[in-house]
């Protein structure tokens, strides 16, 4: 494992199908974000989809004319439109996916431009359903849903719960644009391959807090974004993931769909959670920034300023990585993280060897624009076998995928 990441210069190609549903308004944000990121976006609308959002709106956002059934049924000036679109797309997103379009896809029907294009394509298809709770829970709809997902082409973003347009509170709310975008970028990276299928990953992320009193603690700025990106990328590649995380913002917690999440606060709590979950894991990734020390004494009430000690006696916290390395089974792989300043490689190599890790990801925290709290990162991945991969600055999701790619190539 040598070398560095490369960037694909040609624009990625996403075809978006909009079927009937009020959630179509959310898709505008997805289209705009993709176009601003340099992704080539083409949009086609069903007749019902046009009742909720006009072609002019999506054409303006995508910087390309929208397609409707009127285009499909007109005499072709060249190759059939559904063939052209099906061959053009790297990824086909259907959002919102209505009960009607779901039924057509499940049974291989093709009576409009969208359904014909699906059958004329071979790329991954990402589905984001949206409908009334009673509709979603109908036995026929659930049968169609599960039948369709047996086809490996199809990838799902299950609907969430909340207040629906019909004023009901229940399941049926289309996934939020940020979640859809994350899944899109994952599928563009993997081309829909589920190469982590059958693996169970245990990932820690975020910071821990060691309290002096109820309001003061020893901690660090780790946000948990890197671990969440690792978990999302792994889920999208077919893995089962348990994420043990320290305190994190509610917006980040809301992005943990499909991930078993265990919230902890202190290093001792993270230690217990990781050891409890260890037996089920194939890969264990220690991405959390765990406190090294804690106050010897913790006050049960807030200390007055005058009562704060001039010096703070400290005690060591459990070494979670060392304990995991000692208790793991031969088939389990242990990957650590090392947030460093200056020359990041020597301390990472030392930690790799001293902790008994199979691999370590070293990332700088003194480089502007990457590291704690940001959406981007860079790293050097080192393996016990001597492999080295330098990953230039990129999004944390992209970094996560490159880490999984490298570990799979290394035979983990």
What are the start-end ranges of the E strands in 303-375?
A: 314-316, 333-340, 359-364
Active site residue 123: no
Task: Return d(Cα 191, Cα 90) in angstroms, integer.
Answer: 8
Structure tokens that stand for 312 in this block: 């703070």
| CA quadruple 146, 148, 150, 152: dihedral sign | negative
Q: How far apart are CA 362 and CA 270, in angstroms?
A: 21
Q: Residue 223 has which token pair?
A: 């946000």
Describe the chain by its helix, strand, coil percentages, rounded to 5: 35, 25, 40
Catalytic residue among 28, 123, 166, 394: 166
Torsion over CA: 222, 223, 224, 230 (sign): negative
Q: How far apart are CA 347 and CA 222, in angstroms?
A: 19
Query: DSSP 3-state assignment of 337?
Result: strand
End-to-end CA distance of the chain: 12
Q: Which residues are catalytic?
A: 166
């Amino acid at each position: 494992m040598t070398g560095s990441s490369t960037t694909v210069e040609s624009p990625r190609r996403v075809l978006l199908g909009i079927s009937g549903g009020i959630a179509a308004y959310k898709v505008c944000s997805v289209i705009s974000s993709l176009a601003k990121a340099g992704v080539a976006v083409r949009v086609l609308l069903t007749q019902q989809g046009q009742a909720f959002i006009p072609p002019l709106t999506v054409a303006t956002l995508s910087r390309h004319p929208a397609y409707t059934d009127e285009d499909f049924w007109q005499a072709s000036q060249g190759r059939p439109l559904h063939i052209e679109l099906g061959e053009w797309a790297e990824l086909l997103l259907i959002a919102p996916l209505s009960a009607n379009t779901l039924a057509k896809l499940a049974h291989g029907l093709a009576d409009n431009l969208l359904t014909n294009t699906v059958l004329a394509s071979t790329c991954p298809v990402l589905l984001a359903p949206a409908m009334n709770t009673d509709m979603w829970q109908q036995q026929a709809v659930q049968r169609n849903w599960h039948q369709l997902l047996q086809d490996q082409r199809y990838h799902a973003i299950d609907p969430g719960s909340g207040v629906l347009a019909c004023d009901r509170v229940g399941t049926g709310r289309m996934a939020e644009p940020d979640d859809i975008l994350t899944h899109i970028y994952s599928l563009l990276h993997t081309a829909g391959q589920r190469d982590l299928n059958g693996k169970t990953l245990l990932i820690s992320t975020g910071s821990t807090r060691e309290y002096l009193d109820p309001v003061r603690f020893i901690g660090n700025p780790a946000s948990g974004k890197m671990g969440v990106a690792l978990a999302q990328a792994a889920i999208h590649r077919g893995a089962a993931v348990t994420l043990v995380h320290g305190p994190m913002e509610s917006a980040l917690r809301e992005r943990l769909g499909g991930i078993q999440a265990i919230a902890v606060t202190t290093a001792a709590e993270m230690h217990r959670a990781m050891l409890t979950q260890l037996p089920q894991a194939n890969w264990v990734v220690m991405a959390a920034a765990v406190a090294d020390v804690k106050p010897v004494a913790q006050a049960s009430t807030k200390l007055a300023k005058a009562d704060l000690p001039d010096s703070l006696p400290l005690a060591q916290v459990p070494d979670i990585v060392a304990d995991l390395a000692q208790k793991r089974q031969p088939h389990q792989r242990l990957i650590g993280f090392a947030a460093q300043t200056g020359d990041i490689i020597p301390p990472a190599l030392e930690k790799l060897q001293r902790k008994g890790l199979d691999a370590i990801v070293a990332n700088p925290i003194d480089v502007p624009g990457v590291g704690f709290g940001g959406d981007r990162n860079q790293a050097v991945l080192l393996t016990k076998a001597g492999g080295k991969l330098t990953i230039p600055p990129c999004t944390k999701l992209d970094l996560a995928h490159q880490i999984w790619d490298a570990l799979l190539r290394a035979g983990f």
